[in-house]
A and B are shown apart, each in its own frame.
Chain A
Amino acid sequence: MDYAIETLHLTREFHTDEGVFKALEDINLKVREGIIFGLLGPNGAGKTTLIRILSTLLLPTSGEAYVDGFDVVKEANKVRKIINLVSGGERPGYGILTTEENLMYYAQIYGLSRREAKERIEEVNRLIGLDEFLHKRLNTLSTGMIQKYALARGLLNKPKILFLDEPTLGLDVENARIIRRLVRRLVDEGLIKTILLTSHYMAEVEELCDYIAIINKGRIIAEGTVEELKNMVSREVIYNIDVKAIETPKLEFLKSIDSVVGYTVRMSNISGEARIRIVMSYEDISRILDTLERNRIKILRIHQDRISLEDVFLKLVGRGLADD
């Protein structure tokens, strides 16, 4: 079977003053055509390194990678013709030029004539909706506008495979929702065959992706559909316990309880509360509550919750995705 993306024992090392740092280690991925493939992992897990190798910007130290059957090392130019990459939180382009001029610039770099470029920009505008800021200078755009512009740029060459590296990074809820809707539309309407999306937002990956690989410290630690991944923690019991604000290190004692698979703590600066999300291998909540009380932690509320992707990560890694 031909895959949109395939990697075989892909490894990437960086040589630093501290020694050799393995950003990716023995990555074996097979991405089917026609899906949104999510690469989920914390910051520094190796997501961006992998995407840079697949988009030919970086060479692997060892192993192989193919995009639409083309070798990313030996056939880089063939790969570049059928891909594009959009990174969140970045604003490539020239601030002094308008959105339209910037898109014109990139379209021409792809070899389009000015007339062809104009037509393509109109098509992309119809799809994404850039009218509001098409004639505004890039250095005056909001973060949400910039991300829409970046997505528009990523569609200029009608790529078959699109790499989206943290596409909603730094966006507010509303703009992130708009971008996610656009991304889903691209695949549903067949405008892009395959999307590889990296994110450290669970909800984003859960909402958008047909298939997910979880990456941590340069290694793929699990992969499957959302359901398949959730099934990995189907026997576990999950509780959310709201407590009066605490310092996370004070909860270290939880690790000594046999039933505890892992936990995350989310602080709320507004309410002065903290939410402990705890994954247990069997129902043992009364013991947990006893232990919390014995350690003088004031419990406010408690409820059992449904399994989320974060629990899968918690089980596999022993810590939450956002815990750096």
Chain B
Amino acid sequence: MIKIVRILRPAFARAYVRIFGGFREKSWLFWEVILPTIFMSSIIFAYENLNAPKVFIGFVVLGTIMMNFWYNVLWGMGSVLYWEKETGNLEVYLLTGSPLPSLLLGMALGGMFNTSVRSIAMILIGVYVFQAEFIPAYLPYAIAIFLLTLFSLYSMGMAFASLHLIYGRKGIRLNEVMGEPISFLSGQYYPINVFPTVIQSIASLMPITIGLDGIRRALILGEGLDTLWIHISILSIMALILFPLGIYIMNRIVEKGRRDGRLILRWI
């Protein structure tokens, strides 16, 4: 019990910074909500002009939301950890003896909250402006798949964040490598069956592809547990592998950082 409190307290403290600090900037509504929905809207307009089936609107809304969560993992965990190092916050954090995963969990929770606000805005615009259609009855399946996907994504985020400690400024390139190609492969704006089988298989190794497909099947196509059990099983296995792997990589990199001095040397 004490151990859980020791993990969660720093996490909530860090999430507070992200949530309340973020909302204190008056421009958050513009950056966090309006700008991202403009891009989503432009894709929907393109589909509408091409007379694409109505389900594509829902595809785009859900695809954009899921990619927002993925970008939050890359930028909100990885780059922020690098920034924490540069400002000296990481050094002070490590001195406290609190586990580093707590800090990352806090960043993730704060980021998730902000991304959720953005996502709700996108769903509202999708439903009320573009008449996207979702099937609420299958929401529990979608939520289960969504949470499993997030768990896997944020586990991957721990590993990526620690790579930022090793690669420093170059880590931003890592975000780009892990951003656009995954956006392309995961089928952000389209179902991945447009790809050849080999590419579909590669794309299926990523939790976001499985998660996005499962959520679309539940909320747009109205598929139930008879097909979604595959998604849930695969995502559960991914979560079981990725979480300990993320912790392991992070601990190894922090230890290496202590050895090489990369936790404290700001210019590398």
Q: Residues of A at under 8 Å CB distance from B?
A: 14, 52, 55-59, 76-77, 80-81, 83-85, 87, 90-94, 96-97, 101, 104-106, 108-113, 153, 157
Interface segment among B90-98, B162-170, B187-195: the answer is: B90-98
Most chain A beta carbons < 10 A, residue from B14, B21, B87, B261: B261
| Contact B98 A92, beta carbon cutoff 8 Å | no
| Contact A85 B6, beta carbon cutoff 8 Å | no
| Contact B96 A80, beta carbon cutoff 8 Å | yes
Cβ of B92 to closest chain A Cβ, rounded Å: 4
| Contact A96 B95, beta carbon cutoff 8 Å | no
Encoded as 1 (CB less than 8 Å from any A CB) or 0, chain B from 1 to 44 comes to: 00001100110111011001100110000000000000000000
Q: Which of A105, A111, A153 contacts B16 (CB 8 A)?
A: A105
Residues of A within 8 A of B95 (CB): 55-57, 80, 83-85
Cβ of B34 to closest chain A Cβ, rounded Å: 21
Assess A157 versus B92: contact at CB under 8 Å? Given A57-B264, A104-B13, A113-B9.
Answer: no
Residues of A within 8 A of B21 (CB): 94, 96-97
Complex Cα gap A57–B93 (Å): 10
Q: Which of B13, B88, B91, B261 contacts A105 (CB 8 A)?
A: B13
Complex Cα gap A70–B6 (Å): 22
Could you jot down 29 A-B contacts, CB within 8 Å? Answer: A14-B261, A52-B261, A52-B264, A56-B94, A57-B91, A57-B258, A57-B263, A58-B258, A58-B261, A58-B263, A59-B258, A80-B95, A80-B97, A81-B97, A83-B95, A85-B91, A85-B95, A92-B88, A92-B92, A97-B21, A105-B17, A108-B9, A108-B12, A109-B10, A109-B93, A110-B98, A111-B10, A113-B9, A153-B92
Most chain B beta carbons < 10 A, residue from A52, A76, A109: A109
The 10 closest A-B pairs by CB, nearest first: A80-B97, A108-B13, A96-B21, A92-B88, A109-B10, A92-B92, A90-B88, A109-B96, A105-B13, A92-B89
Tell me the nearest residue of chain B to A104, going by C-beta: B13
Complex Cα gap A89–B178 (Å): 36
Complex Cα gap A113–B5 (Å): 9
Residues of A within 8 A of B20 (CB): 97, 101
Residues of B within 8 A of A153 (CB): 92
Assess A111 versus B98: contact at CB under 8 Å? Given A96-B25, A106-B92.
Answer: yes
Assess A77 versus B12: contact at CB under 8 Å? Given A14-B261, A96-B25.
Answer: no
Complex Cα gap A101–B24 (Å): 13
Cβ of A95 to closest chain B Cβ, rounded Å: 9
Cβ of B201 to closest chain A Cβ, rounded Å: 42
Cβ of A183 to closest chain B Cβ, rounded Å: 18
Question: Number of contacts between A and B (CB, 8 Å)?
Answer: 82
8 Å CB interface, B28-82 against A: none
Residues of A within 8 A of B258 (CB): 56-59
| Contact A106 B261, beta carbon cutoff 8 Å | no
Residues of A within 8 A of B264 (CB): 52, 57-58
Cβ of A294 to closest chain B Cβ, rounded Å: 47
| Contact A93 B89, beta carbon cutoff 8 Å | yes
Q: Apart from A109-B9, A112-B9, list 18 A-B contacts with CB within 8 A.
A: A56-B95, A56-B258, A57-B91, A57-B264, A58-B261, A58-B263, A59-B259, A80-B97, A85-B91, A87-B88, A91-B87, A96-B17, A97-B21, A101-B16, A106-B96, A108-B10, A109-B93, A111-B5
Complex Cα gap A84–B92 (Å): 9
Cβ of A98 to closest chain B Cβ, rounded Å: 10
Residues of B within 8 A of A81 (CB): 97
8 Å CB interface, B242-264 against A: 258-259, 261, 263-264
Residues of A within 8 A of B96 (CB): 80, 106, 109-110, 157
Residues of B within 8 A of A77 (CB): 97
Cβ of B82 to closest chain A Cβ, rounded Å: 15
Residues of A within 8 A of B9 (CB): 108-109, 111-113
Cβ of A133 to closest chain B Cβ, rounded Å: 17
Residues of A within 8 A of B93 (CB): 109
Complex Cα gap A104–B21 (Å): 14
